[in-house]
Amino acid sequence: MAIKARRITRTAEKVKHEQLPPDVYEDEFPPKEIILDEGNKLVISCKRDLDMGLPRIDIRHFVTSDRYTGFTKKGVNFPLEFLCELVDTLSAVSDECESKGLFEEVE
């Protein structure tokens, strides 16, 4: 038993010291921001996913306050192929809000 334990320890030490490549992709372009108010904004970026390296759109809520500054868990991440459909859907929602006069309520 002691011999097996030593072999496992040596293997674990070898793995521990090996350098693995970073699995972090940089943004494909500088992130875009939508300011919501003084301490809140939406950050929209395009990064590659870690599994297959395919581009994904990431929309995150970013908070700046006395207690915390950074991204919250609120947000959505989806494959780039759905971006055009999202834009079309948002446009349709905007048209519906316009036709019902909802934008006038928030101005």
Paired with 61 in beta bridges are: 42
The closest of 17, 69, 74, 24 to 49, measured between CA atoms, is 24
Q: What per-residue confidence (pLDDT) applies to 65?
A: 93
Q: What per-residue confidence (pLDDT) applies to 106?
A: 76
Q: What per-residue confidence (pLDDT) applies to 16?
A: 52
pTM for the model stands at: 0.70
Walking along the chain (107 residues) 10 residues at a time, the average pLDDT comes out as: 49 52 75 95 92 90 94 92 96 95 83
